[in-house]
Each structure stands twice: as structure tokens, then as C-alpha cells.
Amino acid sequence: MARKKKIKVNDMDSSSETEEQVGQEHTEEPSVEVVEGRSPRDADFSQLEDEPTEQASAAGGDSQAREFKEKYLRALADFENFKKRTLKERSDLLKYQGEKVFLDMLEVVDNIDLALQHAEAEPEKLREGVELIHKMFVSTLDKWGVRASSALGKPFDPNEHAAISQIPDGEAEPGTVINELKKAYFYKDKLLRPSEVVVSVAPPEGGE
């Protein structure tokens, strides 16, 4: 009899253990990874927060890229307009570079026309008028850097003078310019045209 009771006690213990195991199986909570500084029951929203931030960053980058592109296109258009304007101004400058010079020359022509209208005036007055026109013309040339250079009485210089003829001259040194048909003219430091001159040479021996 005592053995049978022991068996019942064991059965009850076994049954009790089985019920506890079943209860544990139903009541056991799912495992949660524990992160340092965070309670096991706290939710992890880190990944959810990163997604909007990345999208906002991408949107901001696209907006900045569009802004840079618009600025680049505007700068490119401005540069193209600047090139066209510069080329036109340079073309006009080369095409009409003598405009101001000719305007000054027209003043001289006007005075010549007035002199011709009074060609029947007294010879002395006509001469005075021509001298004034000549003076005005020389002044206009000088204004634009054009100047005359007389070679009369100077040694012959092939770089500035063109000898038309040679004449024996006992008074002047051989190779001296004794007559000048046309003066040399310079534009600033450049020779525009040489002078046309007559150069002296030594007279023949025994000649007069």
C-alpha cells in the first residue's frame, strides 16, 4: 500500500511539472535583443528615422544641382553675348578706323573750296588763303602723328632718301642733299615714304 501512494505522489509531481512547463510555454515572452543604454521593451526607431533624412538630403542635392546648372547656363549665355559684342566692336573699329582722320581732313577740303570760290580775288589775298590752308593741313597731319622731315643740306641716307639724280657741286660736300623734290613723311616712328632728293658729287678734276 505504501508503494502505491508513492506512485501517486510521483504522478502528481509529474503532472504538476507538466502543467508548469505548459504554462511556461504559453506565457514565455519572445526574446528581445538588449542594446546598451536601452530597455529591452524600448522600440528601435533608428532605421525608420534614417530613411526620411536620406530622402531629404537627396532632394536637397538635386535642387542644388539644378541651381548650379542654371547659373552655368546663364554665365555661358552672357559669355557668348560678350564675345559677339566684342567681335562686332572690333570689326567696326577696323572698318571705320580712319573715320576721325577723314573728318579732320574734310575741314581742310572745305577751306580749299572757299579759296576756289574766291579765285578771282587779288593775288596777294589768294596767296594768304592758300598759306592758311597749308598750315591747317600740316597741323591736322601732326595731330595724327604724321610729320614731314626735310633732307635739304643733310648727308644722303638711303634709309630715308631716294636719290633722283646726282649733280657735281664744288661747294657742298660729296653725298650731300642739295635739292629736295619731295619731303619724307613719318607716321609716328615709321617711315611712310622716303624723300626724293638730288645729291651732290665731287666735280670732275680739271673741270670748272
pLDDT tens readout for residues 87-144: 888 887 778 878 888 899 999 999 999 888 887 878 888 888 899 999 999 999 999 9
CB crowding 105-137: b at 16 or more within 10 Å, else e: eeebeebeeebeeeeeeeeeeeeebeeebeeeb
Low-confidence residues of the chain: pLDDT under 70: 1-60, 206-208
Instruction: Please give the Cα distance from 128 to 123 (Å, whole number).
Output: 9
Give the H or E element holding residue 21: helix 2-27
Q: What pLDDT does residue 55 have? A: 64
| Cα 98 from chain centre | 25
Residues near 95 by Cβ (< 8 Å), separated by ≥ 6? none
Q: What pLDDT does residue 163 have? A: 96
Note if the pTM is more than 0.85.
no
